[in-house]
Each structure stands twice: as structure tokens, then as C-alpha cells.
Structure 1
């Protein structure tokens, strides 16, 4: 079982990209909401000097940018949207808002009296600043590209409207900038920590699953995993009427090997045998597992008895070619195995199939070992 996991840096980049896309969608939704609120506010004004057609015209760049982005998202998947495309969208949305705000302010004397226009435009800018800050906080550079032009525009408009008072707009700019920067740092730290912890949890889950299903010595499936897969394959054979075979394998005179050369040599023998088994059972659905002690098993879906016998003979040949020494064997100077081949038949339960394979294995041992018997 593969324990490869993406690094924290790779996953963080991926999550940041995903968040920026979702943040861009959210910024678009908020933009539409703000535009509707602006239209409603203008419609409720007692003075109707500014034509509705004019304000809609000013809003068109924002609408068109959002519409184009919606089409792109509809056509392409999230993974296909590059950072450059995302940046182009955000810049277009930003400039569209700057154009709209400037045009509203430039026409404000026709709608509002005194500094009321300034207050209204500043309110829109403040809402947009926080919208872009929240939508883009995972990337400080992109976030500043989104909020700084708006903050500078607000500063410029106030200085233009009230040229004798620089203290308030400058103080507001500094305070907003400090809030945005420190808030971004706090939120990004939390975001990064959450991503790293998620990676760690995924790794632990895979590791625990590996410990539960993989034999620690041979690094192939254990009996628990084999029983689970065998149950699944029996159900599949019942549905599809496809053949299913298993081969129960036992190392000949393994106890003598342990007694004469020690358990470490015995363990090395099992590891080498497991490698041979995985080379033989090499189709995607084939399964090689350690059944217990020196016993192994191969599960062969979509394989009838004759095919399983060919696999058993292939294992015998491959093991002979590896030449794992066994000086105390009664039949060979190298490791050999006895094999019991059994084909599943309709109505046979899991335990009955294993018992029949074990019976054939016993017959193979009784027949002199280093062979297989099949039923």
C-alpha cells in the first residue's frame, strides 16, 4: 500500500490556489450584491438627475468581468485555471470597480449635496477593501494588489474633496493598512496550520490502514486484508459468474531452516519469497498475501483452475530460479513450496474455499512436497 503523500508545501500551494478561486467567486458574488444595493439606493433617491442608463453603463465592466469569469469556470475545471488567468480576472474586477467608483464620484454633484457623495463612495470602497482582503488573504501580494488601489483611491478622493485636511485620510489609510496586513498574517498562519494538520492526519490514516492490512515483515497484504478482498471477489464472482481461484502456499521444512540457521535467516527467506509471489501475481486484481507464519496465499480473480495451475507452476519455476538456500531441506538444497489450488464454485462460502485449498495443500505435502495439487 502506497504511503506517498504530497508535501506540506505542495499541498499548501494547491489549497491556496483553490481558495483564491473560491475567493474570486465569493468576491464576484459580493460585487453583484453591492451593485444591486447601489442600484436600489439610487432608485430610492428623491433626486433623479442621474439617469439609470448612465449608472448601468458604468456598472457594465464589473458585470462583464463577472460574466466572463463565470463562463470560464463553467468550461474549465479548477485544476485547469492557472494563476495567471486568475490574476487577470482579479485585476479586471479591480479596475472595473475603480472605474465605477470614479465615475460615480465624478457625477456625484448631480445626485448628492456637500460631502454626502464622498461618504457614500468611501463606504463602497471600505466594503470592497474588506471583501478583497478576505477573498485573497492566502496570498499577500495578490491581496495587496486588490486592496491598495482601492485604499489609495479613497485617500485621493478625500484629499481632492477636502484639500485642507490631510490628517484624517492619512490616519485612516495607515490604520486600514495595518489592519489588513496583520489580519492577513493571522488568517494565513491559521490557514497554513490547518493544511499541515490535514496532511498529517491523512498520513496517519494511511499509516494506520497500512499497519492494519500489510504484513510488517514481508510488506505484502496480511491475512486480514486477504479475507477482506476474498469476500469482495466472491461477491463479484456471484454477480458476474467469473471464475475465481486461490493458491495456498507453505514453505517446505521451514522449521528446520529456522532451527539450523536462525530466525533472521528464516525472516529473510520469507521476504524473498514474498517478492517472488508479487512478481508472479502481477495483474492489477491479483493479490499475494502472507496468511500466517510460513504460509502464503495468492488470490486470482478471473482465473479458472487450469490458469491457476499455470500460475502455481510459474511460482515453482520462479522460486527455483531465485535459489534461496535451505541446507536442511529433505528434498532440495534450495527453498521449495507446496501449493494447494482451489477454484471457487457457486454456493461455496469463504471458509469452505480456504478449507478446500488447505486440503489440497496437505495432499501436496503428502505427495512429496515441492509440487501443487488442485481441485
Structure 2
């Protein structure tokens, strides 16, 4: 409550949910993550970011980039409760999923495939043969082996995420190099010509 100059009382109602909510995606933000981690133990933490996010911004503009972030947030918000987990946006294209138990490729892989289809529709174009689709990369950290505090788990997950992205860049660079080294296809040859057998006859003298 507050008091106005005329002596009347003013009640202020704060929307506490909005105070801990990312305004773009509607997910809970970094402050909410810190509060939740302090009140309940984290079993697995997944730190993820969007592959090719700069490409989306540069190709289609920041509005399309924001739409991609909102699409990923919607997918994570829909999937996380089924894992007993919560999803947060740290900022930029970085997201966190925290689960009380184990979380891995089986759960996150399905969301990756859904998000890859979304990005492919947004940014069409040729890709190296065999290259992984643009989606998101993630690094996992589990307590207690990777740490017991939120900061320790985030550091471990960040290190694993960096390793995943480095390996992916190396794999795709190798695929591009192999594609460039392939010789140009030769035109198809026609059917082989079959020559009749020749028989040499002895020369005869003129009569």
C-alpha cells in the first residue's frame, strides 16, 4: 500500500509472474531459473542454442529471427512438462531445460526434428549432401557428477555445447570439401558401335 498526498491509500498490485518472464517468448527467464534451482535440486540441465541463427537474421531479418525463437520456445514449453522439466530463455538464442531426473537425446531429439522442419521452411536452400539439418545444438550436465550448483552445471553444459558445435562445424566443412573435390560428371556415352568382321581375300591377277 502507498499513501497519496491527499492522505488516501493506494494499493499496488504487482504481476510477479511477469517479473520473471521473458517478454519475447513467454518462457521464464534467468532470474526464475536461479530461484527454481535454489528451491529444488536439478537432476539434468540442458543448455541449447539455435544453429544458423545469424543466418536467419541476415537472410530474413530480425523479425524472422524473433519468430524462430518463439517457435522453439513454444516447442520446449509443450514438451518439457512431459519430461517433468521446465524451460527457460537465458537471452539471445540460448535456452535451458532443467529436469529433476535424467534427460537425453531421446527427449530432445524429437524437439530437434520438429524445430529443424520449422527452420527449413523459413530458410530454404541447398545444403551439403548428408549435412545435419539446421536445428539447435545442446550440451547436457547432470548432478552430482558435473556439479551441484546451478553455475557449475551451466559451465559443464556450456563446455559440452561448445564441443558439439565444433564437431558439427568440422563435419560439415569436410562434407563441403568432399563435394567440391568430386569430378564433374561426364556425359553419358552412347551404345558401343559394333563393326562387322572383315575377311581379307587374296588378290587375283587380271585375266
What TM-score results when the alignment is normalised by the length of structure 1? 0.38
Question: Any gaps of 5 or more consecutive residues in structure 1?
Answer: 1-193, 238-243, 370-375
Is the contact between residue 320 and residue 336 of structure 1 (CA under 8 Å) also seen in structure 2? yes
Is the contact between residue 247 and residue 312 of structure 1 (CA under 8 Å) also seen in structure 2? no
Is the contact between residue 252 and residue 329 of structure 1 (CA under 8 Å) also seen in structure 2? no
Distance change in 2, residues 1:337/1:328 (3 Å) = farther
- For residues 202-241 of structure 1, the aligned pairs below 5 Å read 204-205=13-14, 207=15, 209-234=16-41
Q: Which of the residues 43, 46, 53 maps onto 1:254?
A: 53
Matched, 1:315 2:115: no
Is the contact between residue 253 and residue 329 of structure 1 (CA under 8 Å) also seen in structure 2? no
- For residues 288-303 of structure 1, the aligned pairs below 5 Å read 288-301=87-100, 303=101
SS at match of 2:65: helix
Matches of 1:328 and 1:354, distance apart in 2:
34
Is the contact between residue 309 and residue 341 of structure 1 (CA under 8 Å) also seen in structure 2? no
Matches of 1:333 and 1:327, distance apart in 2:
14
Distance change in 2, residues 1:343/1:259 (3 Å) = same
Is the contact between residue 25 and residue 70 of structure 2 (CA under 8 Å) also seen in structure 1? yes
SS at match of 1:357: helix
Is the contact between residue 223 and residue 291 of structure 1 (CA under 8 Å) also seen in structure 2? yes
Is the contact between residue 308 and residue 341 of structure 1 (CA under 8 Å) also seen in structure 2? yes
Distance change in 2, residues 1:348/1:333 (3 Å) = closer
- For residues 86-165 of structure 1, the aligned pairs below 5 Å read none
Distance change in 2, residues 1:248/1:285 (3 Å) = same
SS at match of 1:297: strand
Deviations 1:285-323 (A, max 9, x none): 52111111011111111x22xx43322212212323445
SS at match of 2:168: coil
Is the contact between residue 340 and residue 359 of structure 1 (CA under 8 Å) also seen in structure 2? yes
Matches of 1:252 and 1:223, distance apart in 2:
21
What is the aligned length?
A: 158
Is the contact between residue 326 and residue 335 of structure 1 (CA under 8 Å) also seen in structure 2? no
State the Cα distance separating 1:233 from its structure 2 match.
2.3
Distance change in 2, residues 1:328/1:216 (3 Å) = farther
Q: Which of the residues 147, 150, 168 maps onto 1:350?
A: 150
Is the contact between residue 83 and residue 99 of structure 2 (CA under 8 Å) also seen in structure 1? no
Deviations 1:188-241 (A, max 9, x none): xxxxxx9xx76xx4xx32x2x23321000001111111121122222xx6xxxx
Deviations 1:1-42 (A, max 9, x none): xxxxxxxxxxxxxxxxxxxxxxxxxxxxxxxxxxxxxxxxxx
Q: Which of the residues 266, 283, 286 maps onto 2:85?
A: 286
Matches of 1:246 and 1:362, distance apart in 2:
15
Aligned-pair Cα RMSD in Å: 2.9
Is the contact between residue 325 and residue 333 of structure 1 (CA under 8 Å) also seen in structure 2? no
